[in-house]
Structure 1
Amino acid sequence: MKAVVVYDSAYGNTKSVAEAIAGSLDGLEATPVPVGEFKPEALAAGDLLVVGSPINGWRPTPKITTLLSSLGSGSLRGVNAAAFDTRVRMFIHGDAAKKISHALKAGGADIIAEPMPFYVKGSEGPLRDGEIEKAESWAQSLLTSLGR
């Protein structure tokens, strides 16, 4: 079983979270992959796909949205999946992770965790204190959901 953590990142914050998640998936061959380099055909049933994006106009970035729309119904059948986003802590904001999670489920993936937000300071970051540790902990919870 392998894990692929696909991300798009404008200022490096989402990339940092993706790397922390991949680095904490102990026992899995885990790789953080920029969205433009992701090859969906490399996934097999039982693998883990984690997709992350900054919130961009209340939704995932256009690159992540394009990737998700290219995954046909059933193309992720048997793949375990989870989603995250990076966002500014505000009274009102978008929810890219929830939209990603819905798209992964529509592609046939088995969603193994609630969508997870990670917070940045201001629109460009850096990440708020404790967010990398939160990403590492969330990765451990994904392993638990996989029975590892």
Structure 2
Amino acid sequence: MSVLVVYESMFGNTEAIAEAIAEGVRREGAHHPPGTEVAVVPVAEAPSRLPDDVTMLLIGGPTHAFSMSRESTRADAVRQGATGTPRIGIREWIDASEPRADLPVHTFDTRVHVRMMPGSAAKQAAIALRRKGFELAKRGESFWVGGKDGPLSHDEIVRARAWGAFVAEALTPA
């Protein structure tokens, strides 16, 4: 059994959230079946065919132009100083992936904290995953950044750890 956390990050904020989520999953891991592993991988390194032992997928990226990033929005991020721009984003990974209807999937994103700002990469990723055939995909959580390049808002790392522990409870046998 394993949990795979896949992330797309350009300014390092989503990567920090992905690592914190994994930490929360691991913390809850005392209640998991023995042998449960938690791996965190950048989207460019994520396998398009998930191994059979993956029992939960957590996938997230930054919200760009009210949705998941595109090649053009990643190029724009580079012009604005991003250093960690992936060749592909979660949008392209979803398009190339082989679906597993029985796999629990939770999405997450990072977003600029602006009152009444519409759009969420997590929401759009969950929709795209369900359309692709990941029938158990659920929109997870948004984590807030202070601006396009951060920093993460107060206590978002703590909140990400708590959310990771929360979703990990689903792995716990009854």
TM-score, with structure 1 as normaliser: 0.89
Larger RCO (CA within 8 A; separation ≥ 6): 2
What is the one-letter code of the residue matched to 2:19? E
Quote the Cα distance in structure 2 between the aligned partners of 1:147 and 1:3.
12
Deviation at 1:45, TM superposition (A): 6.5
Is 1:137 equivalent to 2:145 in the alignment? no
TM-score, with structure 2 as normaliser: 0.76
What is the one-letter code of the residue matched to 1:87? R
Is 1:127 equivalent to 2:152 in the alignment? yes
Q: What secondary structure, in the 3-state scheme, does the structure 2 residue paired with 1:47 have?
A: strand
User: Kindly, what percent of the aligned residue pairs are identical?
Assistant: 32
Name the residue aligned to 2:111. 87
In structure 2, runs of 5+ residues without a counterpart are 30-35, 71-88
In the TM superposition, 1:12-27 aligns within 5 A as 12-26=12-26, 27=29
Deviation at 1:46, TM superposition (A): 5.9
What is the one-letter code of the residue matched to 1:146? L
What is the one-letter code of the residue matched to 1:71? S
Equivalent residues of 2:3, 2:37 under 8 A apart: yes
Name the residue aligned to 1:71. 97
Quote the Cα distance in structure 1 between the aligned partners of 2:68 and 2:148.
15
Deviates more, 1:41-50 or 1:124-133: 41-50
In structure 1, runs of 5+ residues without a counterpart are none
Equivalent residues of 2:2, 2:53 under 8 A apart: no
Quote the Cα distance in structure 1 between the aligned partners of 2:93 and 2:49.
13
